[in-house]
């Protein structure tokens, strides 16, 4: 899970630059990229908080894809020239998608942890 969380932080920092390369209406320099990166910390910080309780790393993909990568890349590649202004408010709007991704990831994480076939493991005897 530590690698997944490191991926979230690295992707959160680099995604504005990747989106600027995909959309020519975003002329990012270093300062503008840092500003947008700070704004994106709202979104990827919420993904880090959402994935704290997950045991399975594949469950963390749901908040990442549903809540962060898909909305930002979709918005920046298919929006008009006003996308730099909308990009400022996008991390706050994505919190709803992060929550939906958390619900989907929680469902997958719980279904992976459920015992198969209704057989429960016997508790271990304590030494004492």
Using alpha carbons, select from 77, 44, 59 the residue that is nearest to residue 113.
59
CA distance 98 to 87: 16
| Residue 25: both structure tokens together | 């209406």
CA distance 37 to 65: 18
- Asked whether residue 128 is assigned to any structural domain, the reply reads no
- Count up the domains in the chain and report the number: 1
Range of the structural domain that residue 81 is part of: 2-111
Question: pLDDT tens digits, the chain, 128 residues: what are they?
Answer: 788 888 888 877 777 677 666 666 556 666 766 777 777 788 888 888 888 888 888 888 888 888 877 776 676 666 655 556 666 777 788 888 889 999 999 998 888 765 555 556 667 777 75
CA distance 77 to 12: 17
- Asked whether residue 96 is assigned to any structural domain, the reply reads yes
- Asked whether residue 22 is assigned to any structural domain, the reply reads yes
């Amino acid at each position: 899970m530590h690698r997944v969380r490191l991926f979230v932080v690295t992707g959160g920092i680099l995604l504005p630059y990747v989106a600027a390369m995909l959309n020519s209406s975003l002329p990012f320099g270093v300062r503008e990229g840092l500003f947008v990166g700070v704004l994106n910390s709202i979104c990827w910080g919420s993904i880090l908080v959402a994935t704290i309780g997950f045991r399975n790393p594949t469950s963390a993909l749901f908040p990442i894809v549903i809540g962060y990568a898909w909305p930002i890349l979709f918005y920046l590649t298919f929006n008009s020239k006003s996308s730099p202004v909308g990009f400022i408010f996008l991390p706050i709007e994505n919190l709803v998608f992060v929550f939906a991704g958390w619900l989907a990831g929680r469902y997958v994480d719980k279904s992976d942890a459920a015992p198969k076939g209704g057989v429960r493991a016997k508790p271990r005897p304590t030494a004492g």
